[in-house]
């Protein structure tokens, strides 16, 4: 039952609705004595929050994190960490006229079909507002991964609509990603993306695209075949995000066009005596287990479903309705999806790092 909990050894449960009093998360499984401050959580929340630029929704939320439990004198206690973010700029009146109307490509109808009731204020739990809680939890996972393994997780906007960036995933930096409001490290492509999003916003329309993410310094051996392969859990994590419609790791769908010889990653002797992949078409995962190469993934996001142009739909009585949605919405979710994709990647890797600690490899079999 449910569906608001993710992970096993490092698990998170999110709660709250878009226009409710608050959203939040309970993180269970974080080891004790991890140095953690509210400022570290806030840094990631600031990258996700609305109102950052004209490319995003103008809802003004400071998204101030409050740690309610699990941290004392700057250290995790090993007990559940609860983080709360209060909603302060919810304008539910903008949705009053739509409470009996099913918005096209939203979760309005499906939520009501499942539960028989829904919070129509801003989409309730189906709203991207819920991802605030995921980013807060991801900040805890990010700190754990950095401390125990030196893992770095970095995402960026790879494409918007028909505009593709040229990015070397081995060299991209956080500074380059954050240099533009669209979070694309290719300056020329970024300018074109910004212009396209601005044009869609003026027309009352929206655009989709692809977010790419790389996790560096991931140790070999993470992943739990057969049903909890690392890429399987990453796929579930990414496709659980609002507006996510596609996922691939490594060569992804493009790899289907290659031959085995062209696609295989040859091994070379590594400096520590371990095999080192010469290429990375596997995306750092083979047989569902990390091989020590960077983990590379991509997530496709559909255009924002809420648009200002008139669309045909029906109301609760089954009557035809013409709807031009109101409210404050992102004309393109991609810039704010970047820290969310990073957060979900961190949560999966932290969970599998902790699960791997329970595996004792015998030196010799008796």
Q: Tell me the pLDDT tens digit for each residue of 220-250.
A: 999 999 999 999 999 999 999 999 999 999 9
Question: pLDDT at position 348, please?
Answer: 99
For range 75-101, the mean pLDDT: 86
Helix (H, G, I), strand (E, B) or coil at 2: coil
pLDDT value at 346 more than 90:
yes
DSSP H stretches of helix in the chain: 38-48, 108-115, 131-149, 174-177, 187-202, 230-239, 260-263, 334-356
Query: Is the pLDDT assigned to residue 257 strictly greater than 80?
Result: yes
In this predicted structure, the answer to whether residue 155 has a pLDDT above a threshold of 80 is yes
3-state helix, strand, coil in the chain (%, to 5): 30, 25, 45
Q: What phi, psi does 197 have (nearest 5°)?
A: -65, -40
State the pLDDT at residue 157: 98
Residue 56 pLDDT level (bands cut at 50, 70, 90): low
Give residue 323's pLDDT band: very low, low, confident or very high (50, 70, 90).
confident
Residue with tokens 């490594």: 250
pLDDT of residue 124: 87
- Nearest C-alpha neighbor of 134 from the set 247, 22, 23: 23
pLDDT in tens, 174-200: 999 999 999 999 999 999 999 999 999
What tens digit of pLDDT does each residue of 280-317 get?
999 999 999 999 999 999 999 999 998 889 999 999 99
Residue 134 predicted with pLDDT over 60: yes
Please write the tens of the pLDDT for every residue from 333-345.
999 999 999 999 9
Judge contact between 107 and 306, C-beta under 8 A: no
Is 121's pLDDT higher than 90?
A: no
Per-residue pLDDT at 347: 98
Query: On the CB side of 312, how many CA atoms lie within 13 Å of its CA?
Result: 2
pLDDT at 68: 98
From residue 342, alpha-carbon distances to 18, 43, 48, 147, 298 in Å are 21, 13, 11, 17, 11
Residue 72 has pLDDT above 90, yes or no: yes
Residue reference for tokens 């700190």: 143
pLDDT at 48: 94
Highest mean predicted confidence (pLDDT) among 115-124, 151-160, 311-320 = 151-160
Residue 139 has pLDDT above 90, yes or no: yes
- Label residue 274 by pLDDT band (50, 70, 90): confident
Q: State what percent of residues in the chain have pLDDT above 90.
A: 83
Asked whether residue 328 carries a pLDDT value surpassing 90, the answer given is no
* Structural contact between residues 116 and 348, judged by C-beta atoms closer than 8 angstroms: no
Q: Tell me the C-alpha distance between 16 and 22, whole Å.
A: 6
Domains in the chain, ordered, with CATH?
A: 5-356 (3.60.150.10)
Q: What is the separation of C-alpha 315 from the centre of its chain, rounded to a whole number of angstroms?
A: 32
Q: Is the pLDDT of residue 215 over 80?
A: yes
What per-residue confidence (pLDDT) applies to 165?
98
Burial profile 37-73: b = 16 or more Cβ within 10 angstroms, e = fewer: ebeebbebbebbbbebeebbbebebebebebeebbee
Mean pLDDT of the chain: 93
pLDDT band for position 60 (cuts 50, 70, 90): low
Cα(142)–Cα(150) distance, integer angstroms = 10
Band of pLDDT at residue 94, cut at 50, 70 and 90: low
pLDDT category at 87 given cuts 50, 70, 90 is very high
């Amino acid at each position: 039952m449910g569906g608001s909990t993710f992970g096993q050894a490092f698990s998170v449960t999110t709660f709250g609705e878009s226009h409710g009093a608050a959203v939040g998360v309970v993180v269970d499984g974080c080891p004790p004595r991890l140095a953690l401050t509210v400022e570290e959580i806030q840094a990631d929340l600031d990258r996700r929050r609305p109102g950052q630029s004209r490319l995003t929704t103008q809802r003004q939320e400071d998204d101030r994190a409050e740690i309610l439990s699990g941290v004392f004198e700057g250290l995790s206690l090993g007990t559940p960490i609860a983080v709360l973010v209060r909603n302060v700029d919810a304008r539910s009146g903008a949705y009053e006229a739509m409470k009996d109307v099913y918005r096209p490509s939203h979760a309005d109808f499906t939520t009501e079909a499942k539960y028989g009731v829904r919070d129509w204020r801003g989409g309730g739990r189906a709203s991207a507002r819920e991802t605030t809680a995921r980013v807060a939890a991801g900040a805890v996972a990010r700190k754990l991964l950095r401390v125990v393994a030196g893992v770095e997780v970095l995402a960026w906007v790879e494409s918007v609509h028909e505009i593709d960036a040229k990015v070397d995933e081995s060299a991209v930096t956080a500074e380059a990603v954050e240099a533009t409001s669209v979070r694309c490290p290719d300056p020329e492509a970024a300018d074109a993306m910004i212009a396209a999003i601005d044009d869609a916003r003026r027309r009352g329309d929206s655009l989709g695209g692809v977010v790419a993410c790389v996790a560096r310094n991931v140790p070999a051996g993470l992943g739990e075949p057969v049903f909890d392969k690392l890429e399987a859990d990453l796929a579930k994590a990414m496709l659980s995000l609002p507006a996510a419609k596609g996922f691939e790791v490594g060569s992804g769908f493009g790899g289907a066009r290659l031959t085995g010889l062209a696609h295989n990653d040859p091994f070379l002797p590594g400096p520590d005596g371990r095999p080192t992949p010469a290429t990375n078409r596997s995306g750092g995962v083979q047989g569902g287990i990390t091989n020590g190469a960077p983990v590379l993934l991509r997530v496709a996001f559909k255009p924002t479903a809420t648009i200002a142009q008139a669309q045909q739909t029906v109301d609760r009585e089954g009557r035809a309705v013409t709807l031009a949605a109101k409210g404050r919405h992102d004309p393109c979710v991609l810039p704010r999806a970047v820290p969310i994709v990073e957060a979900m990647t961190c949560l999966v890797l932290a969970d599998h790092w902790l699960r791997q600690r329970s595996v004792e490899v015998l030196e010799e079999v008796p």
